[in-house]
Structure 1
Amino acid sequence: MATTLISGGTVVTATGRSAADVLVDGEKIAAVLAPGSTLLGHDLAGSVDTVLDATGKYVIPGGIDAHTHMQMPFGGTEASDTFETGTRAAAWGGTTTIVDFAIQRYGERVMDGLAAWHEKAAGQCAVDYGFHQIIGDVNDDSLKAMEALPDEGVSSYKLFMAYPGVFYSDDAQIYKAMRVGAETGLMTMMHAENGPAIDAMVAELLAQGKTDPYYHGVARAWQMEEEATHRAIMLANLTGAPLYVVHVSAKQAVEQLAAARDNGQNVFGETCPQYLYLSLEDQL
């Protein structure tokens, strides 16, 4: 394995930043050393294959983007990034791993969806990658397939409480999937919105001719996100499944997650940068 010493930089970690040298052996960080350390020898720079001078620069671990959508078809469109272009941009930005979403649509088989996404990504990625599995049709066959996902290197799956007729799972389906998730160690990822109620609000707004972008926010009322987030938390509590709520956009939903965590429940949430800047309040 080739060895590399990154010297003279400011190393940034989860605990802070400090002047340090980083020794890399192959693709693994072998040591983080104080400048001038002789712990691994008096002439470490002379004993490695490559020395990189990082003076005046930050040295940071590679980032992991745990929620990407490369070449994802949805609503008659497809994500603009391919696995090639998306991961090339990720590498330039310091992201060294992505976790994308393999999709099982209604009426399809879970493993067929996973195989399709492996085919899209194979040989195209500039960084490491893995998959979450979207379960768009919770039935006996897909529940059985979920049990085999860990053997395929997939440790998480995603359900939707929104988009009736596309990916939507009702409470009984969510309960069944979470039971399997709890038994197999799979992380349950959840799109938490009350989809049927949102669709009813959309229909009312369309009937009133209210189609400006502003009304998109009106139809996605925070009450529908808080309610669904709470419901997902309760189902996870009942089944013992770990829960990861994706793209949280309402502060009230954050409060539900925080309360569950304060009670010791194994739940997490993520947001998107745009939700911190583009809000209904701003539009008012």
Structure 2
Amino acid sequence: MPAFDLVIRNGETVTATDRVCQDIGILDDRIAALGTNLEAGKREIDAQGKLILPGGIDAHCHVEQMSSSGIMTSDDFYSASVSAAFGGTTTIIPFAAQHRGQSLRAVVDDYMACAEPKAVIDYAFHLIISDPTDAVMGQELPAMIEDGISSFKIYMTYDALKLDDYEILEVLATARREEALVMVHAENHDVIRWLSERLLDQGCGNPKYHAVSHSRIAESEATHRAIALAELVDTPLFIVHVSSEEALNEIRRSQARGLKVMAETCPQYLFLTAKDLDKEGMIGAKFCCSPPPRDESAQEAIWEGLIDGSFQVFSSDHAPYRFDATGKLSAGPNPNFKQIANGVPGLEVRMPLLFSAGVVGERMDIHRFVEVTATNPAKIYGMYPRKGTIEVGSDADLAIWDPEKQVTISIDMLHDNMDYTPYEGKEVTGWPEIVLSRGRIVVEDNSLMVERGSGEYLRRARASSAQPTGNLVPEVDENSNFNAKIL
């Protein structure tokens, strides 16, 4: 009688701290043994010459979500989860988005009904809070946190989503009391509004002016202000999709002062620039996202922040809007930059892009790669050590990588529901060949091996247990802020 359901032999397992040539024995959905010369499995995989990494966690992606302007993303939970799996990601955390006037409970129930019959890998939810009424903050949000949704996103821009500073303080205070994590889209709404109005008044409506209107100052000022508000309340803060050196410097200064501030960046800020928004005709609309890509010097600064630990997480911020009337061109064939749906796809290529440019390109070691794509997201968002590592007892979420496989990225070889990729024609080295989720082989021989709805929903621990690896953020002295009794 075989001792294991599956044994992966002769591969090199890599975690955030270790690199070991060993076998992996999987029983049911967990890693049951690690070592050499393990007993037989019902099935065996020879991973000679391959790397075995923890399955990736994409902690920031927009799936089957209606934007504040009423445009639906092109990917539902089936196409998004399939695409994620083919890129080595085995857990996604998209957003259950509250629009004004909506009940959080109804929003989550509706989102769960979308996910359960479709997802092929495991998933959790963040919330988006756009209407922090007394009922939401006093009853609904604490109930959601108790149910395992321990992180939520707020916006400092967009007319239908933005919170003012008073509302942000209320959200931060609730997060502190309930041990949840606040994620913030940090851009100054009035700066963007002021610049946008003047650009449009002068007839400057082409896609490239999206990057002009979303200035670096808008991002750095809002980042500074969000950090200051979090410091006042003495609660952890997570800054999403950082694009500029100026915002990164605000984060670094706060971390150096011992504040509990964490941050992420995304592929578009390493591999795209504002020049992409200036392509002929409306092609630049394909690259419009907020914050926008900057210039080459900003790219280099963001790389350094990812390498030195200023950023804890590398997410895709996958926001898939097709280049047609259902997405980018919903306002017509020649929209101005304010009418273009904001977002770029990147779910499937997130890990291969970073592996190729970072690990193969010798900009970061492979342990740092694992930290920012899997281990840190698991720790920060309350899923570790079930997810994000290779340990006995952890879920058997694994990606067997061919570190030498060369791939030319093309929309034709991706599995999302998009009609373009902003990384068309880019050559990468390293790609996952076999991907497992809870011991199930999800991807093999470039084929999907599991059924719709076979992914599982994940309840997450409260944020009090969140501790990223790498550049750890020190604790704040309890006496450094106002008396906690005020809360």
TM-score, length basis structure 1:
0.91
Is residue 54 from structure 1 mapped to residue 54 from structure 2 by the alignment? no
| 1:71–1:83 Cα contact (<8 Å) kept | yes
Match of 1:83 in 2: 77
Q: What SS does structure 2 have at the residue aligned with 1:86? A: helix
Separation in structure 2 between the aligned mates of residue 6 and residue 252 of structure 1, nearest angstrom: 45
Aligned with residue 63 of structure 2, among 43, 60, 70: 70
Match of 2:226 in 1: 232
Separation in structure 2 between the aligned mates of residue 91 and residue 249 of structure 1, nearest angstrom: 26
Aligned with residue 263 of structure 1, among 257, 278, 290: 257
What amino acid is aligned across from residue 28 of structure 1 in structure 2? R
How big is the shift at 1:232? 0.6
Match of 1:26 in 2: 28
| 1:70–1:100 Cα contact (<8 Å) kept | yes
Of Structure 1 and Structure 2, the greater strand share is in 1
Separation in structure 2 between the aligned mates of residue 270 and residue 178 of structure 1, nearest angstrom: 19
| 1:104–1:112 Cα contact (<8 Å) kept | no
Separation in structure 1 between the aligned mates of residue 80 and residue 4 of structure 2, nearest angstrom: 28
Separation in structure 2 between the aligned mates of residue 23 and residue 155 of structure 1, nearest angstrom: 32
How big is the shift at 1:2? 5.3
Within 5 A, what are the aligned runs for 1:1-284?
Answer: 3-33=5-35, 35-36=36-37, 44-46=38-40, 48-74=41-67, 75-144=69-138, 145-164=140-159, 166-280=160-274, 282=295
Separation in structure 1 between the aligned mates of residue 251 and residue 134 of structure 2, nearest angstrom: 30
| 2:77–2:119 Cα contact (<8 Å) kept | yes
Separation in structure 2 between the aligned mates of residue 91 and residue 221 of structure 1, nearest angstrom: 35
What amino acid is aligned across from residue 70 of structure 1 in structure 2? V
How big is the shift at 1:128? 0.5
| 2:9–2:46 Cα contact (<8 Å) kept | yes
Separation in structure 2 between the aligned mates of residue 25 and residue 265 of structure 1, nearest angstrom: 42
Residues 199-235 of structure 1, C-alpha deviations (whole Å, 9 max, x = no match):
1211111000011222111101101111100111111
How big is the shift at 1:130? 0.5
Q: What SS does structure 2 have at the residue aligned with 1:59? A: strand
Q: What SS does structure 1 have at the residue aligned with 2:64? A: coil
Number of residue pairs the alignment of both structures matches: 274
Q: Which moved more, 1:184-193 or 1:86-95?
A: 86-95
Residues 68-96 of structure 1, C-alpha deviations (whole Å, 9 max, x = no match):
11111223422111100110111222211
How big is the shift at 1:32? 2.5
Separation in structure 2 between the aligned mates of residue 135 and residue 57 of structure 1, nearest angstrom: 43
Larger Rg: 1
| 1:45–1:51 Cα contact (<8 Å) kept | no
TM-score, length basis structure 2:
0.54
Separation in structure 1 between the aligned mates of residue 70 and residue 169 of structure 2, nearest angstrom: 30
Q: CA RMSD in A?
A: 1.8
| 1:161–1:190 Cα contact (<8 Å) kept | yes
Q: What SS does structure 2 have at the residue aligned with 1:189? A: strand
How big is the shift at 1:239? 0.9
What amino acid is aligned across from residue 23 of structure 1 in structure 2? G
Separation in structure 2 between the aligned mates of residue 277 and residue 93 of structure 1, nearest angstrom: 17
Q: Which moved more, 1:170-179 or 1:113-122?
A: 113-122
| 1:135–1:142 Cα contact (<8 Å) kept | no
Of Structure 1 and Structure 2, the greater helix share is in 1
Gaps of 5+ in 2: 275-293, 297-487
How big is the shift at 1:242? 1.1
Separation in structure 1 between the aligned mates of residue 107 and residue 193 of structure 2, nearest angstrom: 27
Q: What SS does structure 2 have at the residue aligned with 1:199? A: helix
How big is the shift at 1:18? 3.0
How big is the shift at 1:16? 4.6
Q: Which moved more, 1:274-283 or 1:125-134?
A: 274-283
What amino acid is aligned across from residue 68 of structure 1 in structure 2? C
